Structure 1
Amino acid sequence: MFATTHLLLCPYTEADLDDLMHLRNDPRVQPLMTTGDPAPHRDGPQFKKRLRTQMESAVFSAIVRRRSTGEFIGQVVLHVPERKNRDGTYGVCLLPAFWNRGYGSEVTAFVVDYAFRWIGLQRLSLSVFASNERAVAVYEKAGFVIEGRKRASVWSNDRWEDVLFMGILRDEWIERISILEQ
């Protein structure tokens, strides 16, 4: 388990599946995290199996909890599909009740630091809907830069969405922490 100022990043356990299902089924969360059909499906054993596989296959995965109460607020995952290239893929998802409280920034800063300091990545990448301005601001605050845009690529909320590709390089992270440590 890891602790930040306000959060606990806990190892995933089977007991977390119901909370993860609740998170993934929230109608405010679902359209922000999937490019597939946001169907009201997600309560069966197949979906639980998919969630379990996602958490267990990650290089780093954690259940995010409030430090003060232990309350479930979301999940974070870091995948490294090709270890040779040391390029990780980052994902974070929080329950809407915890949006706009700085938790996304806090967990993202921790995982970026962890990815470079302890996993030894060369870069960390992510994708995000361009309309999710709150998430884009969190990622930019952590040092990610927009590297590309796939225009009108996903149909969501009755309109076409652009997808942004963002990344941060090890050298950029080193420069950021050097400035912060001065």
Structure 2
Amino acid sequence: MSDFSVKPVLTGDRTVLRPFTEADAEVMAEIIEDPEVVHFTGAPSGELTLERLRSWYGTRSEQPDRLDLAVTDRATGELVGEVVLYEWDSHARSCTYRTLIGPRGRGRGLGTEATRLIVGYGFEQLGLHRIELEAYGYNARALRVYEKAGFVVEGVRREADLRDGEWVDWVIMGILDREWAALSSTAR
């Protein structure tokens, strides 16, 4: 089992996942503030100044207990979002996954490929046993992406969050190393 200190570059047909730099802060600010991103992920906690974002993205490569990678469009090099493995539990060989894709990256399969790339890296290179995530129940597009990558619904936290005056569910999904291995062997 490796830790998360190595920050790889992962290349797919449509995307390249790469370590973040401080220079990514401006584009990520636009993505994080996109109304659709806010709707499906929630508003940021605290004020997101450019200085704060530069500090955040400029230090992602120094974090040995998480893996934050920029999602870029392979054809253009444009930064379109992020994928993150975090809340690493070395004993259980598990972590949590999250992603967000901005407006210029949606509807082209970039999020699906980015999810598959980082999940594959987690199992095949880091030796993880389990990766889990939570998504709002009304985020149908994300739930489809996660299912395509092999995640299965494990449960629903009913009315777990109050959003815009309405109670909403959190869907809990997970994937195990053996499930990923079975999917990977049939995809070849």
When the two structures are superposed, what TM-score results if normalisation uses the length of structure 2? Answer: 0.85
1:48 to partner: Cα distance: 5.0
Q: Are the aligned partners of 2:151 and 2:173 in contact in 1 as well (CA < 8 Å)?
A: yes
1:52 to partner: Cα distance: 5.2
Q: Are the aligned partners of 1:25 and 1:42 in contact in 2 as well (CA < 8 Å)?
A: no
Give the Cα separation in 1 of the matches to 2:45 and 2:87.
28
Give the Cα separation in 1 of the matches to 2:35 and 2:55.
21
- Structure 1 unaligned blocks of 5 or more: none
DSSP-derived class of the 1:168 partner: strand
1:41 to partner: Cα distance: 3.4
In the alignment of these two chains, the number of paired residues is 179
Counterpart residue number, 2:84: 77
1:55 to partner: Cα distance: 6.5
Letter in 2 for 1:19: V
Q: 1:41 aligns with which of 40, 47, 51?
A: 47
DSSP-derived class of the 1:81 partner: strand
**Alignment partner of 1:90 is 2:90:** no
Counterpart residue number, 1:173: 180
Q: 117-126 or 37-46, which moves further after superposition?
A: 37-46
Letter in 2 for 1:105: T
DSSP-derived class of the 2:36 partner: coil
DSSP-derived class of the 2:182 partner: helix
1:161 to partner: Cα distance: 1.1
Give the Cα separation in 1 of the matches to 2:184 and 2:38.
34
Give the Cα separation in 2 of the matches to 1:82 and 1:97.
33
- Structure 2 unaligned blocks of 5 or more: 1-8
Q: Are the aligned partners of 1:123 and 1:167 in contact in 2 as well (CA < 8 Å)?
A: yes
- What's the Cα RMSD here? 2.1
When the two structures are superposed, what TM-score results if normalisation uses the length of structure 1? Answer: 0.88
Counterpart residue number, 1:102: 109
Q: Which structure 1 residue ranges, 4+ long, deviate > 6 Å from structure 2?
A: none
Q: Are the aligned partners of 1:80 and 1:86 in contact in 2 as well (CA < 8 Å)?
A: no
